[in-house]
Amino acid sequence: MSESDPDADPNRDSDADPNRDSDADPNRDSDADPPVRGVDVDHDTRCTHYRTDRDVVAFKFQCCETYYPCFRCHQDTADHDAVPWPRARFDEPSVLCGVCRTAVTVPEYLEADYCCPSCDAAFNPGCEAHAHLYFETET
Ligand SMILES: [Zn+2]
Ligand SMILES: [Zn+2]
Ligand SMILES: [Zn+2]
């Protein structure tokens, strides 16, 4: 009977775990979920200024290429004057549905008659009064 080799232990403890940190990834889905800046923005892009169940749209401003729930959020948090989205870029998505996070173009937003073309969420028709603050309007 030979004794087993005391130095060879295939099961010795390894305290280096190559799989650690596998669960924390705050940046996942960052493409599908663009950041929305503003004051007290909730997960449906309502803000401290407009909080009804229909205030779930965010608009991208040309000046900083950033979505804000409303022009007052931009006024309160940005350090520059707001520049509305230009007609020349109406083929680029610049209106974000806060419910399903789908970005649509301004013409798609206008044609959809104040609901989301993607998930049918109702948008606030009152936004029309401020449309010129968010994008270039016809006249
Ligand atoms: Zn800006
Ligand atoms: Zn706001
Ligand atoms: Zn939607």
What residue segments make up the domains of the chain, in order of their start? 57-134
Q: Distance, CA 6 to ligand 1 centroid (Å)?
A: 69
Q: Distance, CA 89 to ligand 3 centroid (Å)?
A: 21
Q: Distance, CA 118 to ligand 2 centroid (Å)?
A: 23
Q: How confident is the model at residue 2 (pLDDT cuts 50, 70, 90)?
A: low
**In this structure, what token pair is assigned to residue 19?**
């799989």
Mean pLDDT of 130-139: 90
Q: Distance, CA 95 to ligand 2 centroid (Å)?
A: 15
Closest CA to 51 of 59, 43, 63: 43
Q: How confident is the model at residue 18 (pLDDT cuts 50, 70, 90)?
A: low
What is the per-residue pLDDT for 7?
A: 65
Which residue is listed with tokens 């010129």? 132
Beta-carbon-side half-sphere exposure of residue 66 (alpha carbons within 13 Å): 17
Q: Is 117 within 8 Å of 104 (Cβ atoms)? A: yes
Q: What is the pTM of this model?
A: 0.76
pLDDT: which is higher, 131 or 8: 131
**In this structure, what token pair is assigned to residue 86?**
């230009």
Alpha helix stretches (DSSP H) within the chain:
71-77, 106-111, 131-134
Is the pLDDT reported for residue 57 higher than 80? yes
